[in-house]
Structure 1
Amino acid sequence: MNDSRSRTSRSFDELVAEAEEAPVEGWDFSWLDGRATEQRPSWGYQRLMSQRLGRARAALDIQTGGGEVLAGAENLPPTMVATESWPPNVDTATRLLHPRGAVVVADADEPPLPFADAAFDLVTSRHPVTVWWDEIARVLEPGGTYLSQQVGHSSVFEVVEFFLGPQPEENRRARHPDDARRDAETAGLEIVDLRFERLRTEFYDVGAVIYFLRKVIWMVPGFTVDAYHDRLRELHELITTEGPFLAHTTRFLIEARKPSNR
């Protein structure tokens, strides 16, 4: 997919056309290999998730995307269910997870979750767009665990503000881990672990930014190349003359437990 020529020698139109044609189904970012880098959180979410899944009896992965993260787990429990709302991802996840014995359920990502009370001893989710804490608490059995890696506040806001301009404080603070703690506890869950990290991210060409914004559609709502053509050309010139565009992702790990019945 990537050209061996230096990206700085490739034209704006070439890079744009390539990024517009790239498929964005699923949650696999391998198209960005060699075009962008993102520092990974120190805790290793997939390893932690895999460990928990290996000990679970019945587990639910919410907003599984294309199922790529869940499929990477070494062991799945006897009952493994995943939910996803976007139809192309539902198809991708079904093809990937059915051979592992997991069931993929198309779900609108609105309460209620289509499961009975206390149906699972483990609920997981990587980078959920929304978190319905009351529903997570409801479907967890007493003593059950929720494990999630989430996008934190002001993540990649260097990119967001390049296109949208300075954002108000309420936007910059959205998805703060302190709010996740509060909402989890309000839903009756006990926080076991909460960690936050700010991580270096670099985009090496404008095509990488286009692909990222086409895939992560909530970063710049309504993003299209036509709508932001002039700004994208400015970004191309900036990268060409000054080097990679630097941004910072934020991530937090949260583990919460539903209290056992007394």
Structure 2
Amino acid sequence: MEKIELKKYWQTIEALEFKGWDFSYLEGRWRQEALPWRYDELVRTHLSSEMHLLDMGTGGGELLLTFAHPFGQTSVTEGWKPNYELLKKKLKPQGVTVTFVDQTNYLNFSNDSFDIILNSHESYDPKEVSRVLKLGGLFITQQVGDQNGMLLSEKLDTKRRRNSFEWSKEVAQEALVKENMDILFADEYFPYQDFLDMEGLIYYVKRIPWEYPDVSVETHFTQLLEIQKELSKKGYLRNQQHRFVLIGKLRE
């Protein structure tokens, strides 16, 4: 395929619609090493139907709905407007409380509102989490650490433009302890992430612009061509992820 035609084709991939937090397009286009824990199993171990639950950054509610928690006992926050509008149509009519959260991470709920707060890959303010959590309440979070995606960032020459701040199990754990939480469980891992074709890689990069800022087929075509060469030679393009998980309990 000629370079002009290839660029136009890749641009159709980056323009594909993306709703909720649905990466089904990537099925068969990537592979990811499993984590030594399962976030959903940790949640199910601690969640019971009588609890008042808050799911922070719920996306399109895809993961939340797998827990089958009573809608009347469930609240969600979302900071991306398209997802927020989707949730108002999808979850609010079912009795779920849907609340928009901005970059301040202020939670528009009363003190001591929740028995359990879930947070999968969403930013948060430990003070706000502690404030709206009941005494003895649980905070379960899986986070993306500061070393996530660095291999691909280097290949795309975006490493210098990424938001630079320390974010690891140790940093997050220390912040929760300061907010009167006991840590019940903590783990950290650096799994590999392989892209099997350029379509999957381009689709992925465009969906997480905070990690790959200002990347587009137009601006990074040269880098993408080099990545294509490596992928074609090896059969995959390896990236590395950074994940950690914490379960905190607010002291009574």
Scaled by the length of structure 1, what TM-score is found?
0.86
Find the partner of 2:54 among 60, 68, 71. Answer: 60
Find the partner of 2:172 among 167, 172, 180. Answer: 180
Find the partner of 1:146 among 126, 135, 139. Answer: 139
**Partners of 2:45 and 2:70 in 1: CA distance:** 10
**Partners of 1:165 and 1:210 in 2: CA distance:** 14
Q: Does 2:68 correspond to 1:46?
A: no
SS at match of 1:227: coil
Q: CA deviation at 1:13?
A: 3.9
Contact 1:85 1:106 in 2 (8 A): yes
SS at match of 2:20: coil
Equivalence map 1:9-158=2 (5 Å): 12-13=6-7, 16-76=10-70, 78-98=72-92, 100-128=94-122, 130-158=123-151
SS at match of 1:54: coil
Tell me: CA distance 1:36–1:72, structure 2 relative to 1, closer, same or farther (3 Å): same
Equivalence map 1:198-217=2 (5 Å): 198-217=190-209
**Partners of 2:194 and 2:16 in 1: CA distance:** 19
1:49 aligned partner, one-letter code: V
**Partners of 1:71 and 1:159 in 2: CA distance:** 32
Tell me: CA distance 1:76–1:158, structure 2 relative to 1, closer, same or farther (3 Å): farther
Contact 1:47 1:73 in 2 (8 A): no
Tell me: CA distance 1:37–1:14, structure 2 relative to 1, closer, same or farther (3 Å): farther
- Which runs of 5 or more residues in structure 1 are unaligned? 1-10
Tell me: CA distance 1:158–1:202, structure 2 relative to 1, closer, same or farther (3 Å): same
Find the partner of 1:236 among 217, 220, 228. Answer: 228
Between the aligned residues of both structures, percent identity stands at 24
Contact 1:202 1:246 in 2 (8 A): yes
Contact 2:71 2:94 in 1 (8 A): no
RMSD: 2.2
**Partners of 1:184 and 1:77 in 2: CA distance:** 28
Scaled by the length of structure 2, what TM-score is found?
0.89
Q: CA deviation at 1:167?
A: 5.6
Cα deviation code 1:3-31 (max 9, x no counterpart): xxxxxxxx844751342232123211111
Q: CA deviation at 1:98?
A: 3.7
**Partners of 2:74 and 2:168 in 1: CA distance:** 30
2:182 aligned partner, one-letter code: E
**Partners of 1:144 and 1:186 in 2: CA distance:** 16
The corresponding residue for 1:246 is 238
Aligned length: 247
**Partners of 1:161 and 1:180 in 2: CA distance:** 25
Q: Which one is further off, 80-89 or 107-116?
A: 107-116
Contact 1:57 1:77 in 2 (8 A): no
Q: CA deviation at 1:122?
A: 0.6
Q: CA deviation at 1:74?
A: 3.0
Contact 1:193 1:256 in 2 (8 A): yes
Q: Which one is further off, 13-22 or 193-202?
A: 13-22
Cα deviation code 1:48-71 (max 9, x no counterpart): 223433345211111111211112
Tell me: CA distance 1:109–1:71, structure 2 relative to 1, closer, same or farther (3 Å): farther
